[in-house]
Amino acid sequence: MLQGGVETRVELADFEDWKTAVAAAVKELRAGEVVALPTETVYGLAADAFNAEAVAKVFEVKERPSFDPLIVHVARVRDLERVAVVSEELRPLVKKLTGEFWPGPLTLVLPKTDKVPDIVTSGLPTVGVRLSAHEVMRGVAKELGNPIAAPSANRFGRISPTSVSAVMSELGGRIPLVVDGGACGDGLESTIIALEMDGDKPVMRLLRPGPVTREDLRKFGRVVKAKRVTGTVEAPGTMESHYAPETPMFLFEKPEEFVPEEGKKYGLLSFRDEEKDGYVGKHDWAQVEVLSPGGGKMSEAAVRFFFLLRKLDEAGLDAIVAEPVSKARLGEAIMDRLQRAAFRGED
């Protein structure tokens, strides 16, 4: 294992100077190394997407199973076609979506080009591509001259990192460099859609809900559900247990379903710290963390979500209880993460 073997440097990228950090990252990537980079969603663990050996390191460092494909980050809209094949039928939709949402938190799954090594896509004929809105990720892809393969910078199945301290607790000692771009502005991983033809009509198959919402996408065409395929990663959402804290986590439909066990320490992940939601006053919680102290704003909840989940996980509790949130708009992405974090394999 690589664990503990490497000294992990942190390079700061701030408003005044992020180019030094970009240059440091490019140097490592050119040498076939992997580095953690900030994006607007979560931190990514980056490798040169055209260097299969470097990409293999991503899987090794993350302890990620080889069947789970990586997302490829490009530097500009026109670089999409270096990695993905856009058919004439899908071209108008791709143009509209990239025009509206790129750079930004939307990943498009399309057939891959031959340039993309099979290891990146886990042997799938398709590739997930996005253009990050973060100047560091984009700057690194531009400087390197190649697209960047980057999954979230956490060990497999664990909580995604939205700050450098979270990256360090996941991968410190395993990678040579982390670029510190501060806290991630969106806080949840990108929305993933597969673009396909249904007869003669293009459709968007929602594989993972995220900051670009179903409602946002509907303005551009039909949004259909991901198929549930057991034992494969046809859709990333089929990996039931994900984003999981080590502390057992429960998500109830109603507060009455929570029956505390004698002598156990429970923490609450509250949506807006509101008595009338039924959870805050229900128990003498050992710790309460509030997703949106600003009175229930979904975007605030999204930004704080992984940070607070990690905080509760590290608090030495016996269990975490999470309040459900509305599934409308950005709430769908938060509920998706909560449901998968709370999954305990009893399906």
Residue 224's binding partner among Mg ion, ligand TXA, none (Cβ under 5 to 8 angstroms by kind) is none
Whose tokens are 């999981």? That residue is 244
d(CA 239, CA 26): 32
Residue 233's binding partner among ligand TXA, Mg ion, none (Cβ under 5 to 8 angstroms by kind) is ligand TXA
User: Considering the complex, what minimum distance in angstroms separates the CB of residue 158 from ligand TXA?
Assistant: 10
User: Considering the complex, what minimum distance in angstroms separates the CB of residue 207 from ligand TXA?
Assistant: 6
Residue 67 three-state SS: coil
Amino acid at 161: P
Beta bridge partners of 46: 35
Answer yes or no whether residue 107 interacts with Mg ion by CB under 5 A: no
Helices (H), the chain: 19-30, 52-62, 80-83, 91-101, 118-121, 135-144, 164-171, 214-218, 298-313, 331-342
Q: Which is nearer to Mg ion, 194 or 203 (CB)?
A: 194
d(CA 279, CA 269): 9
Structure tokens at 40: 């607007």
User: Considering the complex, what minimum distance in angstroms separates the CB of residue 311 from Mg ion?
Assistant: 19
Residue 85's binding partner among ligand TXA, Mg ion, none (Cβ under 5 to 8 angstroms by kind) is none
Q: What is the DSSP letter of 333?
A: H
Residue 121's binding partner among ligand TXA, Mg ion, none (Cβ under 5 to 8 angstroms by kind) is ligand TXA
Residue 125 three-state SS: coil
Task: Kindly report the length of the chain.
Answer: 347
d(CA 297, CA 61): 35
d(CA 99, CA 94): 8
Answer yes or no whether residue 152 interacts with Mg ion by CB under 5 A: yes
228-287 positions binding Mg ion, by CB under 5 A = none
Binding residues for ligand TXA, per CB under 6 A?
A: 39, 41-42, 44, 68-71, 105, 107, 109, 121, 124, 126-128, 150-152, 189-190, 192, 207, 233, 236
User: Considering the complex, what minimum distance in angstroms separates the CB of residue 225 from ligand TXA?
Assistant: 14
Residue 195's binding partner among ligand TXA, Mg ion, none (Cβ under 5 to 8 angstroms by kind) is none
Q: Measure CA of the first residue to CA of the last residue in the chain; give whole Å.
A: 33
User: Considering the complex, what minimum distance in angstroms separates the CB of residue 74 from ligand TXA?
Assistant: 11
168-227 positions binding Mg ion, by CB under 5 A = none
Residue 70's binding partner among Mg ion, ligand TXA, none (Cβ under 5 to 8 angstroms by kind) is ligand TXA
User: Considering the complex, what minimum distance in angstroms separates the CB of residue 60 from ligand TXA?
Assistant: 14
Residue 311 three-state SS: helix
Binding site for Mg ion (CB under 5 A): 152
